[in-house]
A and B are shown apart, each in its own frame.
Chain A
Amino acid sequence: MRVELKRAVYEENDRLAREINEELRSRGIFTVNVLGSPGAGKTSLISRLAEALAPDRLSVIEGDVASDIDTRALRALGIDAYQIETGGDCHLNAPMIRAVLGKMRVPDGAWLFIENIGNLICPAEFVIGEDLKLVVASVAEGSDKPYKYPAAFAKAAACVLTKGDLAEAVGFDEAFFKSGLASVAPNAPLFPLNGRSGDGAAALAAWLRLARGTCGAPAEGPRLEGG
């Protein structure tokens, strides 16, 4: 007996993510899911954005497999940060976000940045309640990342390219990178950003403010049809 299901394997996660997103939105909170390889500059990006978005309130959820180093670094900068230790899981999912949101107090109207686990594969597959995804790549990882990890780039509303100061030293091919990005994410703008000096953070902050103002429904629907 054939039974038609047409049901997404992660439908429970997706449903919970929608619920989380609606709840955060109803409180005026705008949520950004930050993806990127380990060391790409995710934590640095969030720190620089906290400065560039001031005086707006900003809260951070840090996903890490087994440490709270980033959370402590952010708190040392006066940023309101909470830790999720996944204990080995390679991505954050909606139930984890639900759980941590129960323990923290994101102020109404704040920005909520979620630093996902460092990896360009699994985090791309999960919605966790965000309004949009940012993908962070550093020049040190090489110029072929959009070709090798299309999903992470395709799902991002914008791409941040860090460590431009090292481009020459690592032989970064900017044209090749941009052409790959244009193929997999034709609508995603590219923002160069220096995670140490903060150069470029103002432009990204301005774009985020714009996106926040114009953001309709969350970027991603169910995964029955490919996105």
Chain B
Amino acid sequence: MHEASASEALVKMVSEEARARGETDGSPYRVARIRLVVGEATGYMRESLEFYVGASAKGTPAEGAVLDIRYVKPLLRCPSCGLEYERRRFTFECPSCGAQGSMIKAGSEFYVDSIELEPARAKEGAVV
């Protein structure tokens, strides 16, 4: 529901990182790829994130970055057979014995795992 503000925060974080590295190394970087981890419980949709990140990245070092999203499913434990399993859609049932599991992780991750930086001018093929 609030992918817009989430995307702004995301772009701000990775752009600042790129700028800081650029200053340290004395040549500017652009963000080529953002590896994002998203828990399913957050409700963030891939399409929305791609759209809003693309929009907020305009004019920043993250413009044109590829968004690599890894979704994390809720994790449940079966009270009767002890199996730990990922939630399947629309059910909490244990895939092995059918008992109703308890959630041990909701899947609320929302973090940048890593980013890929490349020299800012690489795209235009400019030789320094």
Contact = CB atoms under 8 A, between A and B. Distances in A.
Contact of A183 (B29, B39, B92): B92
Given A9-B13, A122-B1, A2 B103 contact: no
A90 B21 CA distance: 35
Interface string B65-100: 000000010111000000000000010100000001
Nearest to A90: B1
Given A90-B1, A151-B108, A183-B76, A10 B9 contact: yes
Given A184-B103, A224-B111, A226-B107, A9 B116 contact: no
A147 interface: yes
Nearest to B36: A9
A119 B1 contact: yes
A121 B1 contact: yes
A169 interface: no
Contacts of B106: 150-151, 154-155, 184, 226-227
A121 B29 CA distance: 36
B109 interface: yes
Interface in B1-59: 1-2, 5-6, 9-10, 13-14, 17, 21, 29, 36, 39, 41-43
Nearest to B73: A226
Of B14, B75, B109, most buried by chain A (CB within 10 Å of CB) is B109
B103 A185 contact: yes
A226 B109 contact: yes
Contact of B108 (A2, A185, A223): A223
Interface string B110-125: 1111111110000000
* A1, A9, A155 — most chain B CB neighbours (10 Å): A9
Contacts of A151: 41-43, 106-108
Interface in A143-173: 147, 150-151, 154-155
A179 interface: yes
Interface in A5-40: 5-12
Given A89-B2, A90-B2, A5 B17 contact: yes
Contact of A1 (B14, B41, B74, B118): B118
Interface of A: 1-12, 89-91, 119, 121-122, 124-125, 147, 150-151, 154-155, 179-180, 182-186, 223-227
Interface of B: 1-2, 5-6, 9-10, 13-14, 17, 21, 29, 36, 39, 41-43, 72, 74-76, 90, 92, 100-103, 105-118
- 7 closest pairs, A vs B, by CB? A151-B41, A154-B106, A183-B92, A226-B105, A186-B102, A5-B112, A8-B111
27 contacts: A5-B14, A5-B17, A5-B111, A5-B112, A5-B113, A5-B115, A7-B111, A7-B112, A9-B9, A9-B36, A10-B9, A10-B110, A89-B5, A119-B1, A124-B108, A147-B92, A150-B41, A151-B107, A155-B106, A183-B76, A184-B92, A223-B108, A223-B110, A225-B105, A226-B107, A227-B105, A227-B106
